[in-house]
Amino acid sequence: MDIYRISQNYVEFKFFVYNENNNSSQQAIDFRGELLSSNYEKLDFKIFIDPQKKQDNRRLDFDASCYYTGILLINEKNRSLLANKLSSKIEILDVETDLSEKFYFVNLLTKIDCINKDNKSNSDIMLMVRENNISLKKSNISDNIIFRDDKLSSSYFCTNEFVNFISENDIKGLRFEKVGIAE
């Protein structure tokens, strides 16, 4: 089974970055799959504007955005669709953006021991991650279609089923980079 890391499609679509005027947004880098709703400070994002480009032809009609690989945002139109598909595996929280369309932070709660770390040093594991040649434990992934590794929890990983779900529902803005195989 192929495993993918979820990231932003920077080539086709504009994307969100933190609004540096709101210090609380930096907290998201430290999220590791814990339930946040009880003391969550609303994250604040804005569309990235490249000062080097006079004209940016990338599209603004995205449905999802991914800041780094572990901060997934989804628009209002697809919020319920994603919530119904993933139910108790995610928490959906409000965010502020500079767009008129409403977006939400998808906090992924599913953390599993999925990277095969057996008999591997930390440098071996990091080399697998850097080279997108990660060996994953299929038995631990089980029926999870989107998940975090319990140790490398800042990235969102997914299976073909999740990639197909996004494609079938025409959710635009994400890129799926194959990072390994679950055996």
How many CB atoms are closer than 10 A to CB 107?
20
pTM reported for the whole predicted model: 0.90
Structure tokens given for 161: 């089923």
Per-residue pLDDT at 29: 63
Q: Give the chain's domain count.
A: 1
Q: What are the DSSP E strand ranges found in the chain?
A: 2-8, 16-18, 43-47, 64-67, 71-75, 90-96, 103-108, 111-112, 134-136, 146-149, 157-159, 174-182
Handedness of CA 108, 113, 114, 117 (dihedral sign): positive
What domain range is 82 assigned to? 2-182
Per-residue pLDDT at 68: 73
Q: What is the pLDDT of residues 16-65, one digit of tens each?
A: 988 877 666 556 666 767 778 788 888 899 998 878 777 888 999 999 99
Q: What is the pLDDT of residues 114-169, one digit of tens each?
A: 999 888 898 998 899 889 999 999 999 999 999 999 888 888 999 999 999 999 99
Q: Distance (Å, rounded) from C-alpha 24 to C-alpha 129?
A: 29
Per-residue pLDDT at 25: 59
Per-residue pLDDT at 53: 75
